[in-house]
Structure 1
Amino acid sequence: MTVDFGPTAADYARYRAGFPPEFLARLTALGVGLRGQRVVDLGTGTGVLARELAAAGCVVTGVDVAPELLDQAREQDAEAGVDVTYRVAPAESTGLPAGQWDVVTAAHCWHWFDAPHAVAEVRRLLAPGGRIVLCSRDYLILPGNVCEASEELILAHHPGWPMAGSPGTHEEWADDLTGFTGLATFTFDVDVPYTHEAWRGRMRSSNGVGASLPADRVAAFDEDLARLLRDRFPEDPMPVPHRVFAMVAVRP
């Protein structure tokens, strides 16, 4: 599947919510997100995590291959009053100086990378004792809920879409972190309120819709999703369950 989030950058920026406060509190307890820490946020996208870490007092550089997403990130940073440095580069070869970073993060994106090369780049970037954070905040598929119905609709418009059915936890990431120490994970669930309009925007920004389908097929999907919400999920706004997951490890 060819994926390009550039065409869906506006929806991505507007409709993808950030992590809840509990997430940063738990990271802080694991030594991440402390004031003054130097952080590289790989696959930063619209800067959701980078912005939260900058607001906590970290010095953050966000890296992404999509300049359209970084343009959205800069606009949102200006509105939030935070300062993040951005650069267009792949996670596997950032071009940033070696051994000068306390934390490297990757939120909602590790599955897009060439993991062996990305891990090698993380090792190169981190100072000894530095931490890597792999994390996600996925909507949670439950029998009969709006998440399940929305993914079924994506599959109707994009047969064979390979990213359906995420459980919201990613223990498999540990296989990529061989040689790191102090491995720790946490997970918790949270309901996020979405209006019908916002949920449609969230689903348009999916890798299976706006990032991989042509515009006419995205529009057709959106019309069908609007109808599905009216007919089956009339509550507006509606609570949408999400699962937050993080894995933290230390570079020896």
Structure 2
Amino acid sequence: MPTLPTASGDQPHDQSRSQPHTHRQMAESFGIDAGRYDRTRPRYPAPLIERIVGDRSGADPLRVLDVGCGTGIVARQLRAAGCLVLGVEPDGRMAELARTHGVEAEIATFESWEPAGRTFDAVVAGQAWHWIDPVAGTAKAARTLRAGGRLAAFWNVHRLPDDLTTALTSAYRRVAPDSPVDLGAAIRPGTDGHQTLAAKAADAIRQTAGFGEPEQWRFDWEWTYSRDAWLDQMRTHGILTRLPSDQVAEVLAEVGAAIDARGGSFTAPYVTVAVTALRDVDA
């Protein structure tokens, strides 16, 4: 089992940027263009979905609660794997699009959402757990899971080529120097930027009664983007969704020029990082 570090190394002056759930208005900006978000955001690797679902031969369908379900990207992958999925999503625009894809979605923040006696075999969160108070969210998951059920929070992490990282960093720091997002964590290649998020999730699990020791899963894959496809996805990133249009255009122009310089496309290695734990059977 991979070792999950604790989050105790955070420095006081970094606490705001290392606690994105305190800036939830950024997450709630994604619904500005829910269709673009749904079209451009990457899906999750099949081995992750298979590991969450497990061997269900002869068993009832897995009942899954998808926290921060957005437009239903994770929910649709789980439904295709035979699961029964309920989504919880604070943004009505995102939830409405999820419903058009056949996903049942209730509008609420997870911290305020009430299960009303319902229990689930799994509670999952794709690209969303960092927008939830880690302590309150983990406690709510514990209340919601059946004994032996699984909590799994996961993130897709891409690694841009060095020249694109340089262009993106330069543009962001010029137009959004006061962003509440930790630009280093948002842009840094590889999984480094998400290890703080993973560590916080793991610490909250350890501090919540009823869970076993958290573990980390890792899945490696890659995706090739054209210039237009990458710039289209960039418009859904949290830093850009809250910038004025002229500043968005400035960032996109700089990154687009860097992609043009390398022939108009690039291949991005991805890592999907999951933090997961089981609800104790005797809790």
The one of 194, 210, 219 aligned to 1:188: 219
| In the alignment, structure 1 residue 55 sits paired with structure 2 residue 74 | no
- Structure 1 residue 230 corresponds to structure 2 residue 260: yes
Q: CA deviation at 1:28?
A: 3.8
Out of 207, 212, 223, the residue aligned to residue 238 of structure 2 is: 207
User: 1:84 offset after TM fit, Å?
Assistant: 2.0
* Distance in 2 separating the partners of 1:248 and 1:99: 21
Whether 1:100 and 2:119 are equivalent positions in the alignment is yes
Distance 1:151 1:106, change over 3 A: farther
Q: Is the 8 A contact 1:98 1:126 kept in 2?
A: no
Residues 1:121 and 2:150 are matched in the alignment = no
8 Å Cα contact 1:101/1:130 also seen in 2: yes
1:37·1:59 contact (CA, 8 Å) conserved in 2? yes
Q: Which of the numbers 64, 67, 78 marks the counterpart of 1:39? A: 64
SS in 2 for 1:205: coil
Match of 1:242 in 2: 270
Preserved CA contact (<8 Å) 1:35 1:57 = no
Q: TM-score, normalised by structure 1?
A: 0.85
Aligned partner of residue 248 in structure 1, secondary structure: strand
Segments of 5+ residues of structure 2 without an aligned counterpart are 1-22, 186-191
Give the drift of 1:63.
1.0
The 3-state SS of whatever aligns with 1:138 is strand
What's the secondary structure of 2:240's corresponding residue?
coil
- Are 2:45 and 1:16 aligned? no
Q: TM-score, normalised by structure 2?
A: 0.77
Equivalent residues, number: 240
Q: CA deviation at 1:42?
A: 0.5
Secondary structure in 2 matching 1:224: helix
* Aligned residues of 1:141 and 1:165 also touching (Cα < 8 A): no
2: CA distance, partners of 1:25 / 1:145? 35
| CA distance in structure 2 between the partners assigned to 1:242 and 1:155 by the alignment | 24
Contact 2:163–2:258 (8 Å) recurs in 1 = no
C-alpha distance after superposition, 1:163-203 (max 9, x if no partner)? 33332442332101023115332113211111111100111
Q: Which stretch shows the higher mean deviation, 156-165 or 15-24?
A: 156-165
The superposition leaves residues 69-103 of structure 1 with CA deviations (integer Å, 9 ceiling, x where unpaired) of: 1233234x2xxxxx421111001122222351111
Find the counterpart in structure 2 of residue 132 from structure 1: 151
Residues in 2 aligned to 1:35 and 1:145: alpha-carbon distance in whole angstroms: 49
Matches within 5 A, 1:58-77: 58-75=83-100, 77=101
Q: Percent identity?
A: 28
* Residue in 2 that maps onto 1:5: 30
Gapped runs of 5+ residues in structure 1? 78-82
Per the alignment, in what secondary structure is the counterpart of residue 17 of structure 1? Answer: coil
Q: Is the partner of 1:149 in helix, strand or coil?
A: helix
Q: The residue matched to 1:165 in structure 2 has which SS?
A: helix
Aligned counterparts of 1:57 and 1:242: Cα–Cα separation in 2: 26
Q: Root-mean-square deviation (CA), in Å?
A: 2.3
SS in 2 for 1:246: strand
What's the counterpart of residue 87 of structure 1?
106
Work out whether residues 168 and 251 of structure 2, in 8 Å CA contact, stay in contact via their aligned partners in 1. Answer: no
1:151 Cα deviation after fit: 4.0
